[in-house]
Amino acid sequence: MSEFVRLETQDGIGTIRLERPPMNALNTQVQEELRAAASAATADPEVRAVIVYGGEKVFAAGADIKEMADMSYVDMAERAADLSSALGAIARIPKPVVAAITGYALGGGCELALACDWRVVAEDAKLGQPEIKLGIIPGAGGTQRLARLVGPARAKDLIMSGRMVDAQEALRIGLADRIAPAAEVYATAVELVRPYLTGPSQALRAAKLAIDGGLEMDLASGLAWESQLFAALFATDDRREGMAAFVEKRKPDFTGR
């Protein structure tokens, strides 16, 4: 049983909930429990969409600095790839994933949010990558995912200054997708993913794979990857149902097959 990270499933939504008071610091145990929760959410057919949530007060205020303070280069060289891949497991969930952010999403917490498809941010939340103030840089995807999301110039501003941004700035630069009162963040995240719960899950998976995978390729390779995924969907029941429903002028009944 996980101590600090739980996967709760209700009405097709899997909530990956962090519970390590007071700030949900992402120590090694939390990182590995996130990996396990991502694997469970991926494997469970009852989970059609995922919300990553730190609770009503804080999303995650970063890595556990006390745990890292005495680590040597050799120590971190052995751990760094696992740190990155633990949050990468969230990014690889082949279903819609939204981060519901209250309080702070800093350092590793911001990187966890970046691993999600969308971010719902509380009106009073603060986001940032303050690692530079510790003499290091983000090491769990921050330099890569943030630059792809907001562009290299803005990513350099945030990472090289270490400053925090509020919800309005996060929305303006594309780091946030929706803003809500803190008490309504989770409910807003539910509303964001609700349309996908009855959607064609294989096509949603393919769309995510095409977009995320294509970002790592040149245009010609990305187009070939898209074509492959597009053609593969013609083997699914949902493709047949979707096209039949269109022809028959009715609402499709997708089964995820």
Catalytic residue among 86, 107, 111, 113: 111
Mean pLDDT for the chain overall: 96
* pLDDT score, position 1: 61
Which residues fall within 8 angstroms of residue 162, CB to CB, at 6 or more apart? Answer: 128, 129, 130, 131, 132, 133
Q: Is 19 a catalytic residue?
A: no
* pLDDT score, position 122: 98
Length of the chain: 257
Nearest to 63 by CA among 34, 21, 106: 106
Beta strands in 54-189 (DSSP E): 97-101, 104-106, 118-122, 126-128, 164-166, 178-180
- Inter-residue contact 14 to 49 (CB < 8 Å): yes
Count of CB atoms situated within 10 Å of the CB of 227: 11
pTM of the model: 0.94
At 121-171, the pLDDT tens digits run 999 999 999 999 999 999 999 999 999 999 999 999 999 999 999 999 999
Find the helix or strand (DSSP H, E) in which 10 lies: strand 5-10
Catalytic residue among 14, 107, 108, 109: 108
Q: Is 111 a catalytic residue?
A: yes
At 73-111, the pLDDT tens digits run 998 988 889 989 999 999 999 999 999 999 999 999 999
* pLDDT score, position 68: 86
Q: Is 169 a catalytic residue?
A: no
* pLDDT score, position 5: 97
pLDDT of 189 > 80? The answer is: yes
Average pLDDT over residues 245-257: 95
- % of the chain at pLDDT higher than 90: 92
Average pLDDT over residues 39-54: 97
Catalytic residue among 25, 37, 49, 63: 63
Q: Is 131 a catalytic residue?
A: yes
Hey, what's the torsion of the CAs at 235, 240, 241, 246, to 10 degrees? 140
